[in-house]
Amino acid sequence: MTGAEHDDAVERARLLLALRQRGIRDRAVMRALEEVPREHFVEPAMRRVAWSDHALPIDCGQTISQPTVVALMTQALEITSAHNVLEVGTGSGYHAAILASIARHVVTLERFRTLARTAALRLRELGFTNVEVVVADGLAGYPAGAPYDRIVLNAALREVPAALFEQLAPEGILVAPVGPPEDTQMLVRYARKGGGLERRDLGPVRFVPMLPGIAAVL
């Protein structure tokens, strides 16, 4: 084991302990967080802190969310190996990899072509064949793959668009950071129950804002 690999192992163990202390008990989520190599999803200059519990910058002015937030969101989704999942906001592809480690199939939407291409390549190289990366406007969802058992949004918005709830399956769960994009948001879990939605607030978070449309250049 090289020095860098040893440091990664130490930081990974420290992170897993922190996750347990934060109340992450889902075994599938913990296994995914342990096994997905986060260092492959960050910029080369950030690799030495890849396993720290912090959000880190990536291309196009976006971020890779801190692991405890990814774990909290994933646990709240209650994913099983039978589920079809929609992720809005691919970013580096890290959260898609976590989701794909548990779910049957993941469709992940990204408005920046550069991020989508890079994430698709990373995921393919790491063997995640059950992920479909699509360049699309996340606010509209992806009707071609609907209905989705689970939907997760990785960017903040004032309210979840009706189009996304329409693509949520009966008994489905949607998790999103809801609130003013320029301020702290509330991480919210919506569960479809019968003909309505049950809302549960999970705690304050801070995400980059969700932008409409497909980026013109990047």
Q: Which residues pair with 199 in a beta bridge?
A: 190
Q: Which residues pair with 187 in a beta bridge?
A: 177, 203
Please provide the CATH number assigned to the domain covering 3-205: 3.40.50.150
**Mean predicted confidence (pLDDT) in 194-198:** 89
The pTM assigned to this predicted structure is 0.94
d(CA 52, CA 4): 14
Question: Could you report the per-residue pLDDT of 49-84, keeping only the tens digit for each?
Answer: 999 999 999 998 899 999 999 999 999 999 999 999
Catalytic member of 52, 65, 81, 101: 65
d(CA 34, CA 3): 19
Of 11-15, 74-78, 91-95, 103-107, where does mean pLDDT reach its minimum?
Answer: 11-15
pLDDT of residue 125: 97
What residues does each domain of the chain span? 3-205
Of 160-164, 184-188, 204-208, where does mean pLDDT reach its minimum?
Answer: 204-208
Question: Would residue 65 show up in a list of annotated catalytic residues for this protein?
Answer: yes
Contact indicator for 114, 214 with CB cutoff of 8 Å: no
Residues near 190 by beta carbon (within 8 Å), at least 6 away in sequence: 160, 165, 168, 173, 174, 175, 176, 197, 198, 199
Contact indicator for 193, 169 with CB cutoff of 8 Å: no
User: 12: pLDDT confidence band, cut at 50, 70 and 90?
Assistant: confident
d(CA 35, CA 206): 26
**Mean predicted confidence (pLDDT) in 138-165:** 97
pLDDT of residue 22: 86
pLDDT of residue 108: 98
What count of Cα atoms within 13 Å lies in the side-chain half-sphere of residue 40?
18
Contact indicator for 105, 132 with CB cutoff of 8 Å: yes
pLDDT of 218 over the 80 cut: no
Parallel/antiparallel/unpaired status of strands 105-110 and 84-88 = parallel
- Nearest to 174, CA basis, from 149, 201, 137, 155: 149
User: 216: pLDDT confidence band, cut at 50, 70 and 90?
Assistant: confident
Question: Could you report the per-residue pLDDT of 76-101, keeping only the tens digit for each?
Answer: 999 999 999 999 999 999 999 999 99
pLDDT of residue 109: 98
What are the Cα distances from residue 15, in Å, to 68, 81, 96, 122, 171? 8, 25, 19, 23, 32
